[in-house]
Amino acid sequence: MPGSIVVGLDGSEASIRAAEAAADAARHHGLRLVFACVVPWSPYSFTTAEENERRSVDKAREEAAARDRVLDPLVTRLSAAGDLEVSGIVRHGHPAETLVSVAREHDAAWITVGRVGQSRVRTLLFGSTPSSLIQLSPVPVLVVP
Partner 1 sequence: MQTVLAATFDEQVDSWFAPISERITSVVFYAVPLDFVDDGVVLPLIVVWLVIAGFFFTIYLRGFQFRAFKHAIQLTRGDYNDPRDAGEVTHFQALATAVSGTVGLGNIAGVAVAISLGGPGATLWMIIAGLVGMCTKGVECTLGVKYRNVYPDGRVSGGPMYYLTKGLEQKHPRLGTFGKVLAVLFCIFTLGGAVGGGNMFQANQAFSQAQSVTGGEDGPLGGGAAGAIFGLVMALLVGAVIIGGIRSIARVTDKLVPFMAIFYVLACLTVLFANFTEIPNALWAIVSQAFTPEAGFGGVVGVLIQGFRRAAFSNEAGLGSAAIAHSAVKTNEPATEGHVAVLEPFIDTVVICTMTALAIVITGTYADESSAPGVQTTSAAFESVVGWFPIVLAIAVILFAYSTMLAWSYYGLKAATYLFGESMLVDRTWKLIFCLFVIIGASSTLDAVIGFSDSMIFLMSLPNIIGLYILARVVKREIYGYRARLETGEIVPVAERT
| Nearer to partner 1 (CB atom), residue 58 or residue 72 | 58
| Nearer to partner 1 (CB atom), residue 19 or residue 102 | 102
Name the site residues for partner 1 (rule: CB under 8 A).
39, 41, 43-57, 59-60, 62-63, 91-93, 98, 101
Q: How far apart are CA 52 and CA 6, in angstroms?
A: 32
| Nearer to partner 1 (CB atom), residue 14 or residue 39 | 39
Smallest gap from residue 90 Cβ to partner 1 (A): 9
Burial 59-83 (b: 16+ CB within 10 A, else e): eeebbeebbeebbeebbeebeeeee
Smallest gap from residue 49 Cβ to partner 1 (A): 4
Residue 143: name the closest of 112, 118, 116 by CA.
Answer: 112
